[in-house]
Amino acid sequence: MSPTLDAIDSVLLPTDGSDGALAGAKRGVDLAAMADATVHVLSVIETSTIDGVSSALESASAVDEQRAALEADAEAAVESVATMVRDRKPGLEVTTTTERGTPFRVIDRYVDARDIDAIAMGTTGRTGLTRAVLGSVTENVLRTVGVPVLVVPPAASESRLTESTVENVLVPTDGSDGAAVAVDWGSTLAAAFDAMVHAIYSVETSRFPPQLNPGEMLAELERPGEEALQEVRDHARERGVSLAGTIATGPPARVILDYAADNEIDLITMGTHGRSGLERHFLGSVTETVVRNAERPVVCVPMSGE
C-alpha cells in the first residue's frame, strides 16, 4: 500500500538541548502539522555521562547532585521543545519523556514501544560537530530505526516545510527496491505540499573500461535509468503531481547535491539502502554522503518503513 500523510500519526523529536536538535524539532513540527500528528519529545540522559560523573567525584552527595543536574538539563530540553511546538502549532498533542541510556538505542526502543511513524533530527548535537561530520546519534539512528527520519542540517534550521514554501522535492533513484520505497514517500510528500517532483538517475561512466565505445556504453547505461525514471513518473501520476526527470553522469552523491543546489530544491527524499546493501543496519554510502553535506532537509526512508 502506498503511504499517505494520514499514515503519520506520531512524530518523535529527540533533543539534547542543542541548536542542532532544535533545528530538527522545528521541521518536525512542520511535518506533524501537515499530518495532524501527535508529537513526542524525548531527551536521553547518557548513562556513560552519569558513570563518568560517578568516577570523577568522591562523595555520594556530589554524585547525586551532578546526576540531578543532568536530569534537570534533560527536563529543560524537552520542555523547551514542547513549548516551541505549542507556540508554533497550538492544538497538537505533545508528550514529553526523559530516559537514561545510550541515545540511539533508547530512541530505537521508544519508536517500537510507542509505535512512532517518523522522526525529525538535526545533524549536530552538543558536541558542535561541523557540517562535514554527521552527528553520531543521528547517524546511528539512521542505521537502526525502521521508520522515516527527517534529517535537518543547520543551514535549513529556518526553512519552513509548508505548502507555501516547499515547491520542489528531489527524489534520487537507482532503480533498487530501497529507492522505490523512497520514491513512494517523495511523491506522497510532494502531493501534500503541492510541489513538483524532480527525479534524478546518475550514470557512473568511470566504472567501465575505457576501450568501450563511449556512445554505446552511455546508451547501455542510460537504459536502466529510463526504466527507473518511468517508475517515478508512474508514482507521480498516481499522486497527481508534476515531474521533471533527469539522467546525469557522475558520482551519485555529487550529482544529487549539485542538482539540489542548482534547482532550488526544498526537500530531498532518499532510501537508506540502495543497490549496495539491504541490511537494516547498513546506511547506504550515497545517502550518507548526501546527508552529511546537504543544505536542505533530507527524508531518509528505510526499506523496513511501512
Q: Are the CB atoms for 135 and 129 separated by under 8 Å?
A: yes
Q: Does position 10 have pLDDT exceeding 90, yes or no?
A: yes
Mean pLDDT to the nearest integer, 144-152: 94
> Distance (Å, rounded) from C-alpha 162 to C-alpha 238?
22
Mean pLDDT to the nearest integer, 90-110: 94
Predicted confidence at residue 280, as pLDDT, reads 42
Predicted confidence at residue 208, as pLDDT, reads 58
> Which single residue is written with the C-alpha cell 512524530?
11
Hey, what's the cell of 132?
A: 562535514
Mean pLDDT to the nearest integer, 34-45: 95
Mean pLDDT to the nearest integer, 105-128: 87
Predicted confidence at residue 11, as pLDDT, reads 98
Mention every residue, 6+ apart, whose C-beta is less than 8 A from residue 207.
none
Mean pLDDT to the nearest integer, 118-133: 63
Mention every residue, 6+ apart, whose C-beta is less than 8 A from residue 100.
44, 45, 46, 47, 50, 106
Q: What are phi and psi of 253, to 5 degrees?
A: -60, -45
Q: Does position 48 have pLDDT exceeding 80, yes or no?
A: no
Q: Does position 283 have pLDDT exceeding 60, yes or no?
A: no
| CA 261 to chain centroid | 18
> Distance (Å, rounded) from C-alpha 51 to C-alpha 86?
35
Predicted confidence at residue 59, as pLDDT, reads 66
Architecture of the domain whose range is 5-156: 3-Layer(aba) Sandwich (3.40)
Confidence of residue 305 (pLDDT cuts 50, 70, 90): very low
Q: Sort 78 into a burial class: Cβ within 10 Å, 0-12 / 13-18 / 19+.
A: buried
Q: Does position 37 have pLDDT exceeding 60, yes or no?
A: yes
> Which single residue is written with the C-alpha cell 537504459?
223
Domain boundaries, the chain: 5-156, 168-301
> Distance (Å, rounded) from C-alpha 152 to C-alpha 294?
9
User: Treating both helix axes as pointing N-terminal to C-terminal, what angle do 136-144 and 285-293 enclose, rounded to 10 degrees?
Assistant: 150
Which of 11-20, 43-52, 221-230, 232-241 has the least mean pLDDT?
43-52
Confidence of residue 205 (pLDDT cuts 50, 70, 90): low
Predicted confidence at residue 281, as pLDDT, reads 39
Predicted confidence at residue 176, as pLDDT, reads 84
> Distance (Å, rounded) from C-alpha 223 to C-alpha 183?
19
Topology of domain 168-301, per CATH? Rossmann fold (3.40.50)
Burial state string for 160-179 with b = 16 or more CB within 10 A and e = fewer than 16: ebeeeebebbbbbbbbbebb
